[in-house]
Structure 1
Amino acid sequence: MRVFNRTLPLLALSCLCSGAGASTITSTSTSTSAAVSRSAKRGLAFTPNATWPQDNYLWTRSPSDLTWYYNYGASPSPVYSNLSQDVFAFVPMLWGGSSSRTSDTTFLATVTGLLSHGIEISHVLTFNEPDLSTDYGGSDVDPMVAAKIWVANIIPLQATGVKVGLPACSGGWGAVPWLSQFLGNCSKLISTDGSGGVTRNCTYDFIPLHWYGNFEGLASHIGTYAAAFPNATFWVTEFNDNDQDLATTQSFFNTSIEYLDRLAHVERYSFFGAFRSTASNVGPNAAMLSAGGKLTDIGAWYLGEAATGVVPDSGTSSPAIRRPGSSGAYIRALLTPAFACALLLVSVY
């Protein structure tokens, strides 16, 4: 499900900083109310734990800033079945596939079944980290196999008006090459299938991406994608700065959220951390719930609420770490040359 990137990709950063049309972003000051930010882009990467089913209701309590969710599967989660798509939209995912089942259309049947029952599915996700082995949480799908499954399941969905995302590759160096090979294979398949020799391209509506590491790396990774796929729209469907201390994690969260909210070409995002600190595989401080199931500062901020002061690994309260930008403070986090280059992306698209 994730790959950990602690090293700043210098090549990608160079690409980011040399992009045409970049302009600067000025530091801003805000009132204390900025600690409760709201964003229509924000969604939930839902990873329920059967031990604590009560936690599932925290993400949709009113008023929640979350407008959509995905659960790594094709069917909606029963706990949210009473919520309409315009309140909390479910986005199905075709998680993976195998070479022995490239003609399997179960995903297509599931989504068309939802549509026929009045569930207005507007978007779908495809292939979770196909560039990674299953040992690291990926779906480990060969680009040609993925292309065959796409032709069988996704192209028919496009005909119904559903918007589709490219496979969500990891934050590793192989992500863009994997996608390029996938698109080439997909184009070859549909160009030799009743096209009369005319070259056709497989189309998509948005590109999901993942990142685990510091903010500079996140901005650089988005820059790499933006350079490889000009004029594309992106969803950041998993991101976090894993296994860091609390101050570093909160700084990453606040800097990244503000950055993603400002980027016009980032249409949606979902922070990976909707679980208790004791169940976290990205470190306790990256979790949005404490060991006792209470919202941490990050969890509350993500829902658009004020800080709770809850310490992730204990569930007890402590003085809240002030969110950057509150009480008139200027955003100073990570003021390095690479950070300045990253901020240039804000007005590019």
Structure 2
Amino acid sequence: MINQIRKKENLLRLVFMIVMVIMLVPFFGMKKETQAAQAFEITAPANNGLIGAGCFDIKWSPAVGSSVKNYKLYIDGQLIATTSDTSYEYYTTNVKMYTAYVTAEYNNGTSKSTETITFGVTKKGLCANEEMARYLEPVEMNMGWYYNWAAYPHTYESYKTMEYVPMIWGTGNEGSISYVAENGYKHLLAYNEPDAGGDIGGSNIDVNTAIGHWNNFLGHDYVLGTPAPSLSPSWDNGVWFRTFMNGINHDTVDFIALHCYYWQYTGKEAAETFLREVVDKTYEMYHKPIWITEFAVYGWPHNDVEHIESVKEFMKTAIDGLNARPYVERYAWFSFNSTNETNGIASLYNYETGDLTELGRLYVEYGNPEGYVQLPLKGQEYTLFSGTRNTLLDDAVTIKDEIYENFVRKSGVSVVSTSDEGSDTGADKAIDSDIGTRWASAQKVDPSGLTIDLGQIINLKQINIIWETASAREYDIEVSSDGQTFTRIAEERDGISYNYKNDTMILDKMVNARYIRINGTSRNTEYGYSIWDIAVYGKSIDTKPEIITSDKVKIEGYQISAVKGGSRVIGSVEPQINNARVLKWGFIYALDSSEGQNFNVDDRDIRIDSDNEYVRVFETSDQGNSNAVLGESSTAMYFVRTMLFASTTEKEFTTKYKVRAYAQLQNGEYVYSNVCTFSVYNISDYLYRNKKMSNLLSHEYLYNNILKVVNPSYKKVDFEWSNILAK
């Protein structure tokens, strides 16, 4: 299916590209000082990392010193294996957080253990080829594995920490089987949709050919999956796969790979049908573990607000069901591009920017192991410093001429703690605007902490904590927008103890947050943790960025297309603005009012990065550019956008829109035109009364198809040809 989708994406880009840019909760990293690697430690999985469910290896470095008799692997405190090797293949499909450590037993009767690591097992994966994956940050995706319909991993550095699963896409790729085996990949996927033609992304392999070639996959030390059919073997038309399985030895198959796409069938009912009729029935047929390597709901564009909630319901129901089934090892949602006019509703992200969609954020945040905290990205930093302060923290701070408010001082803020030492040292004492009161946790309990609910999502810039002597030697600052999924944005690993110590953490980049969690993991004293005051500085999420306008990007006017049945906006942009070359241009539309309802779209919301649900961005493609001079400037580039009428009703023609043109400059800045307001009726009325249409048929089209629909008593105007000459 992937080839078919990419062909559709390329075709759509030739017509136009719709990008709905949604504000994301960013993920931030920090500076860290790391100790030298220990001589004896677990090397895989990564501590606090995610690993794909099913079979995976737990690895450790050799213990040094006396000769080793054996190693003992403990998971969740239970002895799992005794071995002389430095790795062990572990199997689980239970999505949860695990702990692990290894003890080396020496021949002289002594022993030594690694430090305990924590890791999460997830079934979620990512399917994305090189082009689709280019702008994603995989560490943000909360997935344990990925594949790309190829036998070789992505070349991008950011993917090297995630498990890669190679695929032999078709018979012509079987020469790569030896590469997969020699490089020690744990799993291998076989042919992609061999029951489908190449025009829709399938490898189009005769089933008898596939049976005859199956021996080429055998005899290697990887976990082998079946070909992934486009049609489920549990369906009546799933003949290819059933024939294939009848022609091979089932013992050569380690798991079954499935694809499933539902056309305009979504919601909880559709997900339950998918789980019952595709997943469960296929398992009942073969009793082999299941991988769903592509699945999605499609048939609507990305901005189809009528169906997005039901698609989200489908995803949540499917994830819950797949996670609960012990015979399901892994799954990967197929993400169409958000610009796909037919199937964009299934998009997780925009291929050209990597920006997650609303559905993408759900896929990232839902179904993770309980207790998993996302680690921040490398290269994104914060500044941490300490001082002494015995007065309340300020109501606002200024950083690089920007003012940030203390949102702890706002109304509607609440706080909860993991424990309180007593009734007079409750969690509320840390935010009660009284420097003489403090929160104190129960003594000698690690971890312990506070979670502040600001009551609103803000752009967070700085956090201050005034500690009592019973302070944290080590603690994390974690944030969340929903109170469920937390991201660690800062940490202290060497805090010292003194009364009224004021820790200041300033983020290099702001992050969206409603919940702030201070999680103490190691104490400085034999007591608990105690805090005098806390401040959370940031900006309201409603703060609008500055809009830069220029008369070198304009809305020139409007047209009505009688041939296509739509309205057209004409814009212009000069090749250079503010001494910078213009790279891209287009229009931004906003819904202003309809049938007496005002949608209150502020002009400042009409921008390229708007998160307003009534705003849409349309980048101009080559077909949208015009060689004609449609305005006064002879140096400008002119471009148009035609919006076809969705209906021929009064509502369609009287709905008012706002529109502005935009230009992206070589330096990354965006420059905008002024905002104009129009309706189809107003455009038609002007063109008709002023006899601006190019021929009589178009003139009559305005009267009969638009003007009389809105106003049945509209006065007819004769069309005059006197100003049109043939030369």
Q: State the TM-score, normalizing by the size of structure 2.
A: 0.31
Once the two structures are superposed, what CA deviation does each residue of 1:116-167 show, in whole Å capped at 9, x if it has no partner?
xxxxx11100011111111221111111211222212x1022xx2x110011
Aligned to 1:155: 218
Call closer, same or farther: CA 1:39–1:252 in 2, change over 3 Å. Answer: farther
Aligned to 1:111: 180
| Gaps in structure 1 of 5+ consecutive residues | 5-37, 99-103, 116-120, 188-200, 309-313, 320-349
Aligned to 1:222: 279
Amino acid at match of 2:170: G
Q: In structure 2, how many angstroms separate the alpha carbons of the residues matched to 1:209 and 1:122?
A: 19
Aligned to 2:312: 250
Q: In structure 2, how many angstroms separate the alpha carbons of the residues matched to 1:282 and 1:222?
A: 26
Matched, 1:287 2:347: yes
Matched, 1:146 2:210: yes
Aligned to 2:260: 211
Call closer, same or farther: CA 1:48–1:174 in 2, change over 3 Å. Answer: farther
Match of 1:300 among 361, 371, 387: 361
Aligned to 1:132: 196
- CA deviation after TM superposition for structure 1 residue 288, in Å: 0.9
Would you tell me which structure has more strand in proportion to its own residues?
A: 2
**Greater RCO, CA 8 A, separation 6+:** 1
Root-mean-square deviation (CA, aligned residues, Å) is: 3.1
Matched, 1:95 2:95: no
CA contact under 8 A between 2:338 and 2:357: conserved in structure 1? no
SS for the counterpart of 1:128 is coil
Amino acid at match of 2:218: I
CA contact under 8 A between 1:205 and 1:233: conserved in structure 2? yes
- CA deviation after TM superposition for structure 1 residue 217, in Å: 3.7
1:246-285 residue pairs with structure 2 within 5 A? 246-273=308-335, 276-278=337-339, 280=340, 283-285=343-345
Call closer, same or farther: CA 1:122–1:143 in 2, change over 3 Å. Answer: same
How many aligned positions are there? 244
Call closer, same or farther: CA 1:182–1:130 in 2, change over 3 Å. Answer: same
CA contact under 8 A between 1:39 and 1:261: conserved in structure 2? no
Q: In structure 2, how many angstroms separate the alpha carbons of the residues matched to 1:284 and 1:105?
A: 33
Call closer, same or farther: CA 1:256–1:133 in 2, change over 3 Å. Answer: same
Once the two structures are superposed, what CA deviation does each residue of 1:270-292 show, in whole Å capped at 9, x if it has no partner?
0111x6401x4861221111475
| Gaps in structure 2 of 5+ consecutive residues | 6-119, 301-306, 367-480, 483-511, 513-607, 614-727
Q: State the TM-score, normalizing by the size of structure 1.
A: 0.62
Aligned to 1:240: 296
SS for the counterpart of 1:261 is helix
Q: In structure 2, how many angstroms separate the alpha carbons of the residues matched to 1:128 and 1:67?
A: 21
SS for the counterpart of 1:138 is coil
Would you tell me which structure has more helix in proportion to its own residues?
A: 1
CA contact under 8 A between 1:276 and 1:287: conserved in structure 2? yes
Aligned to 1:317: 611
Q: Percent of aligned pairs with the same residue?
A: 28
- CA deviation after TM superposition for structure 1 residue 216, in Å: 3.8
CA contact under 8 A between 2:168 and 2:189: conserved in structure 1? yes
Once the two structures are superposed, what CA deviation does each residue of 1:14-33 show, in whole Å capped at 9, x if it has no partner?
xxxxxxxxxxxxxxxxxxxx
Q: In structure 2, how many angstroms separate the alpha carbons of the residues matched to 1:151 and 1:260?
A: 31
Amino acid at match of 1:46: A
Call closer, same or farther: CA 1:263–1:276 in 2, change over 3 Å. Answer: same
Once the two structures are superposed, what CA deviation does each residue of 1:33-62 show, in whole Å capped at 9, x if it has no partner?
xxxxx8611111013427x83x13x2223x
- CA deviation after TM superposition for structure 1 residue 234, in Å: 0.1
Amino acid at match of 1:265: Y
CA contact under 8 A between 1:176 and 1:225: conserved in structure 2? no
Call closer, same or farther: CA 1:39–1:301 in 2, change over 3 Å. Answer: farther
SS for the counterpart of 1:112 is helix
SS for the counterpart of 1:94 is coil
